[in-house]
A and B are shown apart, each in its own frame.
Chain A
Amino acid sequence: DVVLTQTPPTLSATIGQSVSISCRSSQSLLHSNGNTYLNWLLQRPGQPPQLLIYLVSRLESGVPNRFSGSGSGTDFTLKISGVEAEDLGVYYCVQSTHAPRTFGGGTKLELK
């Protein structure tokens, strides 16, 4: 199974600070059809997860453009350009290139 390793596990930030989260895969996530099926989700406390980014870098409708995704192959990054209070929670990467699907371990974003 594909293992997704997220770093750091915890991230402390001030409002307005820019931060990045890394997601590294044990195998390339490039599908034979040319797509890379790597999504980013945010789970706020007590809520189901919310889709932020799909196919590495495509912003889901309604998601603020301070969120951006990048990467290829086995290395991926989620960047938040100017953290806001509503961004606090746990971020997960998830891959859908290989069966079975797998999630990263999560990165908790908290206020410094």
Chain B
Amino acid sequence: QVQLKESGPGLVQPSQTLSLTCTVSGFSLTSNSVHWVRQPPGKGLEWVGAIWSGGSTDYNSALKSRLSISRDTSKSQVFLKMNSLQTEDTAIYFCTARSYLWWGQGVMVTVSS
């Protein structure tokens, strides 16, 4: 059974770094890409970035300078790191795979002092 589960701090202070983990089961990271998508409260979906099955990455153009996505295939985990956080980064962060077929439940991240 395929599962994706996001984890990370619910509250981050402005200018700090956000670190999120997506732990997957039921499929291999070396055969599937994993994407991060975020959703500010009451707003639409925004593609954040992806790590491909071969390990290369792609990022949202507007976030590229602050964003890093990596993985540990032995632990079936994908990591998102975003620095210099601002209040506009407050959102639910989802990880998803298989062309948006599989989704985690999301983790709410609030940027506030």
**Which A residues fall within an 8 A CB radius of B?**
1, 39, 41, 43, 48-51, 54, 60, 90, 92, 94, 96, 99-106
Could you tell me the distance between the alpha carbons of A74 and B44 in the complex, rounded to whole angstroms?
21
8 Å CB contact of B45 from A50, A54, A96, A106: A106
- In the complex, chain A residues whose CB is within 8 Å of the CB of B99: 39, 51, 54, 96
Q: Is B72 an interface residue (CB 8 A)?
A: no
Q: How many A-B residue pairs have CB under 8 A?
A: 54
Instruction: Check A48–B59 contact: CB distance below 8 A.
Output: no
Is A49's CB under 8 angstroms from B101's CB? no
Q: Which of B9-17, B76-84, B102-110 is found at the contact surface with chain A?
A: B102-110
How far apart sit A34 and B104, CA to CA, in the bound complex (Å)? 31
Known contacts A1-B61, A39-B99, A96-B99; decide if A48 and B104 are in contact (CB<8 Å). Answer: yes
Is residue B47 within 8 Å, beta carbon to beta carbon, of the partner chain? yes
Q: In chain B, residues 49-84, which have Cβ atoms closer than 8 Å to a Cβ of chain A?
A: 49-50, 58-61
| Beyond A49-B103, A100-B49, 4 extra complex contacts between A and B, CB < 8 Å | A48-B106, A94-B100, A101-B47, A104-B44
Which residues of A sit under 8 angstroms from B59, Cβ to Cβ?
100
Contact between A92 and B44, CB atoms less than 8 A apart: yes
| Set of chain A residues within 8 Å of B104, measured between Cβ atoms | 48
